[in-house]
Amino acid sequence: MISATGIGFSYGSRPILSDVDLAAPHGQVLGLVGPNGSGKTTLLRTLHHSLVPRTGSVLIDGDALQGLSAREIARRVAVVVQESPGDLPLLVSDMVLLGRTPHRSVFARATEADDAVAAEALDRVGALHLAGKPFDGLSGGERQRVLIARALAQESTHLLLDEPTNHLDVRYQHEVLDLVRDLAVNAHHTVVVVLHDLNLAAAYCDQVLLLQSGKVVARGAPDVVLTAENLEPVYEVDVRRIPLDDGFQLAFRPRRPRTQGARSTPHAAPTRSA
């Protein structure tokens, strides 16, 4: 479990986060949502000590994050961020082996046991057949699977992801989030994920934390948080929820004066609930 209390963070005199609380238990997916500049990525970074909050505390399974060494944090928390494939001229197998670094001494070579863990991680995400291919030659969906495999190779039970569906087409968005949800539900991982797409958050998250200007606007299950009452003042658009047999989808329409007699149709992206 990851929990945070009273998190505040500033860049110089500019406040980014203010008095943020969250709780992400094992076996669930917590989604961080909000408009650009709301503090989602900054909050995620405080959860793995990439950024040190000005106020508040973060606990990993009850242990204070600031009291853990970098190696211990890496053993407990795996992070998947956006990376440029051009900067990583590695084979897929070598990329995944980087996840074993917290378990080896400095400059130690990978062992057969490390190779076995990496292969199992690739197999778990359905990417074992990619092991001998260059990472920078993979599709976006394949790269995300490999990066998640690298995180799994760390053998941590906490997984943090920053916009894992960014730049992916619809098929790969759902494949990646299906995989992430499976890790939470069936492997009992703690998962915290930053998402821009609110319909994806509705479909795959157990809990949602809605941020605006670094403050928590609402928290709870998607059907409680993702309402017109909560979303319209935050995103400054008109919002309509469309009931589905297995959940709901959100339709959005920009706020603008209507011409007399003109009709406007909300723009909706299909989704499914988890």
DSSP run (H or E) holding 10: strand 2-11
Question: Which comes out higher in pLDDT, residue 145 or 208?
Answer: 208
Residue 232 above 80 pLDDT?
Answer: yes
Is residue 252 predicted with pLDDT exceeding 50?
yes
Lowest mean pLDDT among 27-31, 131-135, 269-273: 269-273
Between 157 and 261, whose confidence is greater?
A: 157
Determine the pLDDT at residue 55: 96
Residue 205 is encoded by which pair of tokens?
A: 């998250």
What is the distance between the alpha carbons of residues 143 and 136, in angstroms, rounded to a whole number? 8
pTM for the full predicted model: 0.86
Structural domains in the chain plus CATH codes = 2-268 (3.40.50.300)
Alpha helices by DSSP H, listed for 137-235, are 140-153, 170-187, 198-204, 222-225, 228-235
| pLDDT tens digits along 96-129 | 999 998 888 766 788 899 999 999 999 988 899 9
Q: What is the pLDDT of residue 273?
A: 45
Which pLDDT score is estimated for 274? Answer: 41
The pLDDT assigned to 78 comes to: 94
Q: Which residues contact 36 (CB under 8 A, 6 or more apart)?
A: none
Q: Is 105 helix (H, G, I), strand (E, B) or coil?
A: coil
Residues 168 and 148: their CA atoms lie apart, in Å, by 15
pLDDT in tens, 30-69: 999 999 999 999 999 999 999 999 999 999 999 999 899 9
